[in-house]
């Protein structure tokens, strides 16, 4: 998949990844490029959460862009990411989520 984004320009993206764009504060002047977030739909009145395969309401998504029209702490999920945790409707499509940045663990190998 080719997608123009601030992080990866026209580089091909893994079609198996869910993608997100971040609001200004989360974007952090581009330092968030390539970061992974676990995004969970919060079941509550008005939220149309739908568990995907395995019964999870959480997806792991890769930051590929800045969301110019989002609030500072908002994120925009790709349609595929959104549809895997919530019902897709015509219109607004806002859902309440919790999210956590995935911290890469470095393995130290003794030589």
Residue extents of the structural domains in the chain: 18-40+58-83+97-101
| pLDDT band, very low/low/confident/very high, at 89 (cuts 50, 70, 90) | confident
Non-local CB neighbours of 69 within 8 Å, separated by 6+ positions: none
pLDDT digits (tens, 9 = 90+) for 6-36: 888 777 777 788 999 999 999 999 999 999 9
| pLDDT band, very low/low/confident/very high, at 48 (cuts 50, 70, 90) | confident
Q: For position 109, what pLDDT does the model report?
A: 57
């Amino acid at each position: 998949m080719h997608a123009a984004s601030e992080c990866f320009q026209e580089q091909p993206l893994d079609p198996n990844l869910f993608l997100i764009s971040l609001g200004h504060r989360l974007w952090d002047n581009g330092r968030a490029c390539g970061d992974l977030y676990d995004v969970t739909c919060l079941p509550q009145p008005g939220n149309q959460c739908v568990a995907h395969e395995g019964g999870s309401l959480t997806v792991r998504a890769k930051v590929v862009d800045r969301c110019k029209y989002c609030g500072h702490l908002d994120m925009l999920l790709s349609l595929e990411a959104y549809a895997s945790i919530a019902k897709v409707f015509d219109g607004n499509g806002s859902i309440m989520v919790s999210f956590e940045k995935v911290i890469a663990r470095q393995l130290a190998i003794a030589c």
